[in-house]
Amino acid sequence: MAPSTASLEDFHSYILVTGANGGLGYSICCRLMDEFLRTRPSSHSLRLIITTRDKTKSHDTIAKLKDHIFRARRQHKIHEQSPLVAKIYLQAEQVDLCNLRSVQNLAKKLLHALPKLDAIILNAGLGGFAGVDWALAIWTILTNIPKSVTYPTFKLQHVGLVTGPQETIFSASAGGRQPELGTLFCSNVFGHYMLVHGIAPLLSNSTATPGRVVWIGSLEAYSSVFSTSDIQALKSSSAYESSKRLTDVLVLSSSLVSTQPFVRKFLPPPRDHRPPKQYVTHPGICATNMVPLHWILFYLMTAVFYFARWVGSPWHTVTPYKGACAPVWVALASQEELDGLEENEGAGKWGSGTNFQGDERVTRTEVQGWGLGGTVGDNVGLPKRKRPREAEDLTEEGREQFELLGRECWELMERLREEWEGLLGDDD
């Protein structure tokens, strides 16, 4: 008996990675291909869809990824005619996450071009960093290297960055003013939020396992810099950290009963199988060009990162490829494994880390107000070197406050999404 169309489709995986042209995003793509070739039988295939902001970057990235496949084939002595070579197909798309019309257009294109999406890794984003307070940097590094380069206090950020005018159906109206959109809020959270909502049917079409929405968070997701009264962080000097705290709160509260009225509007559940599932990951501390540095300072920063690892930091992955460990694992792990971990220990924030020798591993990361898995007492007794800057033992009151915060954030995000969808209209 021939297998059904649905069962045949289960052999083909579709994964989308945003911001794939360099740094962590490019390394996520390389590691996805490597892990897929290593763990999947030759009867399976992967279509890897990458996004960049323009066609030139897309062309260059595809060329580099093809070269990576060629080198991997030579390393593992895979013959050119082997079926393994044909297992991976690359597709490039363009999107500007700070341009909501661009996001809307990509969503519509993907809905017509793809049968499903098994996972989307939301990597693209901006740092908004203006420079470094060198006096503070030198002092903190000399006095406490691991802490200072894990939870830095010396990065300077722009305040009040907003996107350019959005192309709305009211753009030509006389005297019309658009609501402001914070640049970092839009690039790191809201642009992705709109994209995921737009392609929700594709994520729901993944029937073998729930479609996975893999957000990229950060160790610097401090609760002290986030406020729902300024959810876009337009008045904050820590807009990057605020966007990452918002990411943590949205994802970790997405399965709570109190947030379901809003989560179900964001990701409407399919009728006959499980709805898409959201996860939050982070790359540890790896050396990328997110903070603008002279090349000499970049290599000096990298050396300091290695030293921090050697003196006990569990989070200094240093290279983006090692930093890609957690998001790739979440994207490719069996659903049974992920469900089992969450059933036993609660939903968590999955981080890339290493040991002294640099062997990468995936580990739960503490989140203020949530702990390791949302269970009171689950973060008591953790080694100090593994705990975030604002770490506190989780209490019942703290857990309740986190749930209230999650509901408020989901309500605000859904209100904002509906407002902007009304402004954008349908350009078909």
Helix (H, G, I), strand (E, B) or coil at 91: strand
Per-residue pLDDT for 78 more than 60?
no
CA 276 to chain centre: 15
**Which pLDDT score is estimated for 9?**
60
Which amino acid is it at 303? A
**Which pLDDT score is estimated for 270?**
83
**Which pLDDT score is estimated for 79?**
52
How far apart CA 158 and CA 427 sit, in angstroms, is: 33
How do residues 117-135 score in pLDDT, each as one tens digit? Answer: 999 999 999 999 988 999 9
Ramachandran sector of residue 166 (left: φ over 0; alpha: ψ -120 to 50; beta: rest) = beta
* Higher-scoring residue by pLDDT: 71, 184: 184
Contact 203, 211 (CB under 8 A): yes
**Which pLDDT score is estimated for 207?**
74
Contact 217, 349 (CB under 8 A): yes
How do residues 166-222 score in pLDDT, each as one tens digit? Answer: 988 765 444 567 899 999 999 999 999 999 999 999 999 977 788 999 999 999 999
**Which pLDDT score is estimated for 83?**
53
**Which pLDDT score is estimated for 25?**
96
Contact 403, 258 (CB under 8 A): yes
Per-residue pLDDT for 237 more than 70?
yes
Helix (H, G, I), strand (E, B) or coil at 52: strand
For CA atoms 261, 403, 125, 211, give the dihedral sign.
negative
DSSP code of 46?
A: E
Neighbour tally for 336: CB within 10 Å = 9
Neighbour tally for 282: CB within 10 Å = 26
Beta bridge partners of residue 93, listed in sequence order: 51
Per-residue pLDDT for 4 more than 50?
no
Per-residue pLDDT for 321 more than 70?
yes
How do residues 11-44 score in pLDDT, each as one tens digit? Answer: 789 999 999 998 999 999 999 999 998 888 878 8
Which spans in 174-277 are helix H? Answer: 183-185, 191-198, 200-204, 239-252, 260-266
Share of the chain above pLDDT 70, in %: 90
pLDDT tier for residue 71 given thresholds of 50, 70 and 90:
confident
